[in-house]
Amino acid sequence: MSQQTEPLDVEGLREDFPILQREFDGTQLVYLDNAATTQSPRQVVETITDYYYEYNANVHRGIHQLSQEASVAYEDAHDRVAEFVGADGREELVFTKGTTESMNLVAYAWGLEELGPGDEVVLTEMEHHSSLVTWQQICKRTGAECKYIPITDDGYLDMEAAEDMITDDTEMVSAVHVSNTLGTVNPVSDLADLAHDHDAYMFVDAAQSVPNRPVDVKEIDADFLAFSGHKMCGPTGIGALYGKEHILEEMEPYLYGGEMILKVTYEDATWNELPWKYEAGTPPISQGIAFAEACDYLDEIGLENIRRHEAELAEYAYEQLTQYDDVEVYGPPADDRGGLVAFNLEDVHAHDLSSILNDSAVAIRAGDHCTQPLHDVLGATASARASFYLYNTKDEVDRLVEAVDDARQLFA
């Protein structure tokens, strides 16, 4: 994992992303919806075309050359993505559709079996719906209870409350690493310690952290950790679940079918080795291989460099937006956040704001960002969110701030 600390050659990097050259009515696109989905560089797209032009075949089934090439590339991709997050190898790294499916896999395979009345699952108030709804519904089905660690007024997790809430009744602590709404970077390693003190598991939702900072599953001591390819320059339809090997060995499969079996009779079946036990059916082969290529691409740039670049842009955006009293930015202070700012312009609904920004070719997200209960806590029905990535520039932040000013004038 790279730890260089060099400024990014953003202009050079942008050449890898043809989509950033798009114009709308002669105005160049400013893409600030990266927390939803990042763009893919040529290197990743070409990995997919190479696969379809050169060695498209089903994996693990054929003796023929194409199938062997596809199988090796797909299997190796697991090792590469595992290495990217500091896991030991493919035995600890299951490919899924993304963070949401990774969460559901554990909730169904482990939660339905292990949880019951009297057990507690501890989440945070800033969970994405992918974790919140999943655990909430599994708790309803098992009789377990969901609890939520509150946030402080400045958007941090209340760790004193966490210490009180994580008890011997806790079976699972599931927390978002970087909040996709507040930009808060949560102390997931401390939460893991608390969980383990009470023999509970720690699940880290790393959808917004693995793409933009060094993340090491062993340093965190996560039992499970989930992330999505499309938020880190990779394709859609692919993501990962890291799990400690002994836990993945113990859990039952989540989906049944081909690929995940070892021996089948009319009466019973046994399961394939890890990680294939959790990858039933024909997998997303080209996506998996391209996911590994995205890891290469990001490692080449350096995760620490990306983290710093994003943080600088977020700090700059925060300061520029809050020059005006009519803008409220949610979450921690400017110099202590991940690479996004969620905000509201007084008396302008976030959807209207986003639509006006779209007229200036500035793409942001408006809505609840899959954190409805958190928006209730913030006292907002929705917010606008600008989220940055390695190819964004300060000039683009200026374009955002100018477009917000246009909206201000329009609604004055």
Binding mask 2-41 for ligand PLP (x = CB under 6 A): ---------------------------------xx-----
Give the residue with the Cβ less far from ligand PLP, 208 or 392.
208
Question: Does position 315 bind ligand PLP by CB under 6 A?
Answer: no
Q: Least separation, in Å, of the C-beta of 35 and ligand PLP?
A: 6
Instruction: Count interface residues toward ligand PLP (CB under 6 A).
Output: 15
- Beta carbons of 172 and 122 less than 8 angstroms apart: yes
- Beta carbons of 183 and 126 less than 8 angstroms apart: no
Question: Does position 81 bind ligand PLP by CB under 6 A?
Answer: no
Question: Does position 91 bind ligand PLP by CB under 6 A?
Answer: no
Question: Does position 99 bind ligand PLP by CB under 6 A?
Answer: yes
- Beta carbons of 211 and 297 less than 8 angstroms apart: no
Among 159, 152, 157, 160, smallest CA distance to 177 is for: 157
Q: Least separation, in Å, of the C-beta of 205 and ligand PLP?
A: 5
Half-sphere exposure of 267 (CA within 13 A, CB side): 0
Question: Does position 208 bind ligand PLP by CB under 6 A?
Answer: yes
User: How many other C-beta atoms are found inside a 10 Å radius of the C-beta of residue 22?
Assistant: 11
Give the span between the Cα atoms of 305 and 299, in whole angstroms: 10
Give the residue with the Cβ less far from ligand PLP, 180 or 383.
180
Give the span between the Cα atoms of 204 and 8, in whole angstroms: 28
- Please classify residue 283 by burial: count the beta carbons closer than 10 Å to its beta carbon, then call 0-12 exposed, 13-18 middle and 19+ buried: middle
- Residue-wise burial string across 55-79, b where 16 or more C-beta atoms lie within 10 A, e elsewhere: bebbbbeeeeeebebbbebbbebbb
Give the span between the Cα atoms of 236 and 230, in whole angstroms: 5
Question: Does position 98 bind ligand PLP by CB under 6 A?
Answer: yes
Q: Least separation, in Å, of the C-beta of 98 and ligand PLP?
A: 3
Question: Does position 240 bind ligand PLP by CB under 6 A?
Answer: no
Query: Given the rule CB under 6 A, which of 45-53, 115-123, 202-210, 316-324 is the region that contacts ligand PLP?
Result: 202-210
What would the two tokens of residue 232 be? 């880190």
Among 404, 292, 305, 318, smallest CA distance to 356 is for: 404
Q: Least separation, in Å, of the C-beta of 210 and ligand PLP?
A: 11
Positions 164 through 183 that interact with ligand PLP (CB under 6 A): 176, 180
Question: Does position 287 bind ligand PLP by CB under 6 A?
Answer: no
Exactly one of 115, 146, 162, 207 binds ligand PLP (CB under 6 A); that residue is 207
Residues acting as catalytic residues? 370
Q: Least separation, in Å, of the C-beta of 232 and ligand PLP?
A: 10
User: How many other C-beta atoms are found inside a 10 Å radius of the C-beta of residue 235?
Assistant: 21
Question: Does position 130 bind ligand PLP by CB under 6 A?
Answer: yes
Q: Least separation, in Å, of the C-beta of 99 and ligand PLP?
A: 4
Give the residue with the Cβ less far from ligand PLP, 99 or 383.
99
Count of positions (residues) in the chain: 412
Give the residue with the Cβ less far from ligand PLP, 111 or 235.
235
Q: Kindly report the backbone phi and psi dihedral angles of residue 280, in degrees, each rounded to the nearest multiple of 5, phi listed first.
A: -70, 145
Binding mask 357-386 for ligand PLP (x = CB under 6 A): -------------x----------------
Between the CA atoms of 160, 162, 163 and 165, what dihedral angle is there, to the nearest 10 degrees? 130
Give the residue with the Cβ less far from ligand PLP, 241 or 407.
241
Q: Where are the beta strands (DSSP E) in 81-186?
A: 93-96, 120-124, 145-149, 170-176
Give the span between the Cα atoms of 125 and 122, in whole angstroms: 10
- Residue type for position 396: E
Q: Least separation, in Å, of the C-beta of 120 and ligand PLP?
A: 21
Exactly one of 205, 223, 310, 368 binds ligand PLP (CB under 6 A); that residue is 205
Residues that bind ligand PLP (CB under 6 A): 35-36, 98-100, 128, 130, 176, 180, 205, 207-208, 228, 239, 370
